[in-house]
Amino acid sequence: MYFVYEYLLTTQALVLVLIVIGLKGSIKFVPQNRAYVIERFGKYQSTKEAGLNFIMPFIDRVSANRSLKEKAVDVPEQSAITKDNISLSVDGVLYFRVLDPYRATYGIDDYEFAVTQLAQTTMRSELGKMELDKTFEERDILNTNIVAAINEAAVPWGIQVLRYEIKDIVPPLSVMEAMEAQMKAERVKRAQILESEGDRQSAINRAEGEKASVVLAAEAEKEEQVLRAEGEAKAIVAVASAQAESLRQVGQAAATDEGQKAVQLDLATKAIEAKLAIAKESSVVLLPDNGTDTASIVAQAMTVIKTLNKNTAS
């Protein structure tokens, strides 16, 4: 009985151990961004994604553990020939990730090596379609074309190429020297163009300044002439007004007895001056005898004035 009891205990312990081993083998915790490819009896059974998963112990096994994260792979430096027959040394970085773990496991043996080689051949092919200058100017377009070509070829592998970046494009030394000379000539050309533009703008500014100066001078002269004319007009008006006022005052004074006497006296004075002028001219003027009173003198003065006017007219 003791042996039987010991046998039963041993059997139970063995069964318990087998159960624990089976449970441990059947429970699979898949990490985030990873996938397990499960095979049953050597044949694909399923793909287990992140989280708690169960498989059949001793029957199923994990055939491949695939990472679904984005991965960066360095593309080795290689030689490529452009459309204008220039040899270049080019290297880059390839970014890709696994989309389908089944295809990445059974579609190709080493998808990382395959996609790297595909990137190299595609890059050589794309560079062969472009001239040397375009490879520097249109690097983004070149990267985009390489990514599109790789993705088209990598569909059976379950791989998606996210982007491709060219790190360095190194032309031969002779080409680099020629490019440097070209850039130097281009810089000199731009400097000369900028200098000529500066001279042109300076000449334009100088001409505009002279034009503005002439216009301002003409405007100033015009204003001066207008002001001078206005001043002369005001002076003429003032003189005319003064003469009119003088005549008015003379007329008012002449209307009085004292004024009449002053007028007669002035006429007598002018008559005497007229006689002196006649004497100098040796002209003979006959005057009446009663030329001593004021009225007579005025009359004589008027006669002298008329005689002078006639002589002047003749």
Are 163 and 97 contacting, i.e. CB atoms less than 8 angstroms apart?
no
The pLDDT score that the predictor gives to residue 17 is: 66
- Map out the domains of the chain as residue ranges: 2-66, 71-171, 173-255, 260-313
The pLDDT score that the predictor gives to residue 93 is: 92
The pLDDT score that the predictor gives to residue 296 is: 62
Residue segments in the chain with a per-residue pLDDT below the cut of 70: 1-9, 12-13, 15-25, 247, 250-251, 253-255, 257-268, 271, 274-314
Q: Which pairs count as long-range contacts for 296-304, CB under 8 Å and 24+ apart, including other chains?
A: 297/264, 297/267, 297/268, 297/271, 298/264, 298/267, 298/268, 298/271, 300/271, 301/267, 301/268, 301/270, 301/271, 301/272, 301/274, 302/267, 302/271, 304/271, 304/274, 304/275, 304/278
* pTM more than 0.85: no
Residues 231, 215: Cα–Cα separation, whole Å: 24
- Give domain 71-171's CATH architecture: 2-Layer Sandwich (3.30)
The pLDDT score that the predictor gives to residue 22 is: 62
**Which string of DSSP letters, residue by residue, matches 3-58?**
HHHHHHHHHHHHHHHHHHHHHHHHEEEEPTTEEEEEEETTEEEEEE-SEEEE--TT
The pLDDT score that the predictor gives to residue 301 is: 58
User: What does the H/E/C string look like for 80-111?
Assistant: EECCCCCEEEEEEEEEEEECCHHHHHHCCCCH
